[in-house]
Structures are given as C-alpha cells and as structure tokens.
A and B are shown apart, each in its own frame.
Chain A
Amino acid sequence: MIGLEHFLFVAAVLFVIGLYGVLTKRNVTAILMSMELMLNAVNINLIAFSRFITPESMTGQVFAIFTITIAAAELAVGLALVFRIYHDRNTVDAEQLNRMRW
C-alpha cells in the first residue's frame, strides 16, 4: 500500500539532490536547474498532503499552482540575468563571478 510517507520520501530525495546541485554546480544555468528540482519536490509534498490529509478542500493544489507560477517567473528572470551576465563578462562560471563591478 502506497501511502503519504512514500511520496514524502521521494520528494525529500528530490529536494536533497537539488540542494546538492545548488551547492556544487559551477555553471549558473545548472544552479537554476537544480533549483527547479527543489521546487518540484515542494510541489510533490503539497499535492501529497492535499491528497491524503485534506482531500475535500484541495488547498494544497491551490498552493502548488502558485508555486508553479512563481517558479516560472523566477526562471524567466533568472535566465535573463544569466544571459546578461554572459553578455557582459563572457562567462557563466559562478566561481568567476565574484567581483562587485568591472
């Protein structure tokens, strides 16, 4: 029988993988991709709680819709910033982006 714990465990593993990616990646685009993994883990949690704890009110699904909206906005602005940084400094390596101005 698959219960709430199984979904929460998969989401926790996904979140930790995303956290590892954010901490270790040097490419800024890869960091943004790892952040998307973490946001997906949060969405799985919200929908699993909505299914198993409050199935009649669906509040978790409403919050998941807002999370998806904000993730899309964040990714669009983030990738525009990556593009701008590449245009200005000719690199997307987070280790080399340590100057305040140039």
Chain B
Amino acid sequence: MSEYIYTASFYVFAAMVIISALGVVRKTNIMHAALLLVLCFIGVSGLYVLLEADYLAAVQLLVYGGAVAIIIILSIMLTHRRRMEETSLANNRARAAALLGLLFMALLALVIFYTPWNYSPAEPSQLTVLANVLLTGYVLPFEIGAVLLLAAMIGAVLLAKGVDEE
C-alpha cells in the first residue's frame, strides 16, 4: 500500500514541477511566471522528500521557496513600470529553441534509459553522516562557500546602490 502512495505522490510532484515550469517559460506576465516558479520549487522539495533527503527538502523550501522567491518578486517590482501583461515576451527564436530542446531531450532520454545503473542495496544514511562529511572531508569548500556568500552580498549591495564618485 505504501508503495502505491509513493508512486502516486511521485507522479503528483513530477506533474506539479513540469506543469509549473512550463508555465514559467510560457506565461507573458512575469509576475505569474514568478509565482509559478515558487510552485515549481515546492514541487522539487516534495521530490527531495521522496528521495529521503529531508534536510535538503527543508533547505529547498527555505532558500528557494522563501528567499529566492522574495528577491525575484522584489526585483520585478523594482524594474517594471509598463503594462504587466507583456512583461515576459518570447523573442523570434522560439521555434528553433523548441526544436533544439526536443532534440536535447531525446538525447538525454536515450542516455537515461540505456545506461545500466548500479543500484546500491544499502539503506540511506542518517543526517549525522551528512554533517560529518560536510565538516570533515568537505570543510574547505564549505568555508569557501561562506566567503562566496559574503562576497556576493557585498557585490550585490555595491552593484544595486552604486558607488559614490566624489
């Protein structure tokens, strides 16, 4: 029975992700596109729960569903003054892009379904393993990530505010 629930919830989340992502690229009102993007992030977080990555599902909801959603919507509010219905138009290469996308999709599907995957029978580890790996073997990239976030924050403030030229 739980197998059926797992399968059903996978298809629900997958449909939610793909339909809202199509809405993000097809809607011509950018505010609708941004709200659909948030829905897509929430669906991805559901997929993480199904993959037994609870910590990353929470991070996904907090960072993408919260922070990223807010700065995208704030940026839209700060930059658009004209009619909202025509704020996210497509250029004249839509047909070529769709064709390229379909070809790339076919290639990826071939690779996915013809590769023999080595499934591991082991059960997924506890969250403490993730903490140990992150703060022992990957501690240097972890600290560099912290410095990168600080640099990005200062850079974003300087770029958006502008430097006083005296």
Contacts and interface: CB of A to CB of B under 8 A. Distances in A.
Contacts of A1: 3, 7
Contacts of B18: 10, 13-14, 17
B119 A40 contact: no
Contact of B112 (A5, A36, A71): A5
Nearest to A88: B162
B118 A76 contact: no
Q: Classify the secondary structure of A's interface with B.
A: helix
Interface in B145-163: 145, 148-149, 151-153, 155-157, 159-160, 162
A77 to B, nearest CB: 5
Interface size class, chain B: 35 or more
Contacts of A66: 141, 145
Contacts of A76: 71, 152-153, 156
Interface in B48-83: 48, 50-53, 55-56, 59-60, 63-64, 67-68, 71-72, 75-76, 78-80
Contacts, number: 233
Contact of B40 (A6, A40, A57): A40
Interface residues of A, number: 73
Interface of A: 1-10, 12-21, 23-27, 29-30, 32-34, 36-37, 40, 43-44, 47-48, 50-59, 61-62, 64-66, 68-77, 79-84, 86-87, 92, 94-95
7 contacts: A16-B101, A26-B90, A27-B88, A40-B44, A65-B56, A68-B56, A83-B159
Given A7-B51, A8-B112, A64-B56, 17 more contacts: A2-B50, A3-B117, A3-B119, A4-B119, A17-B21, A17-B101, A23-B96, A40-B40, A51-B52, A57-B129, A57-B133, A66-B141, A76-B71, A77-B152, A82-B79, A83-B160, A92-B79
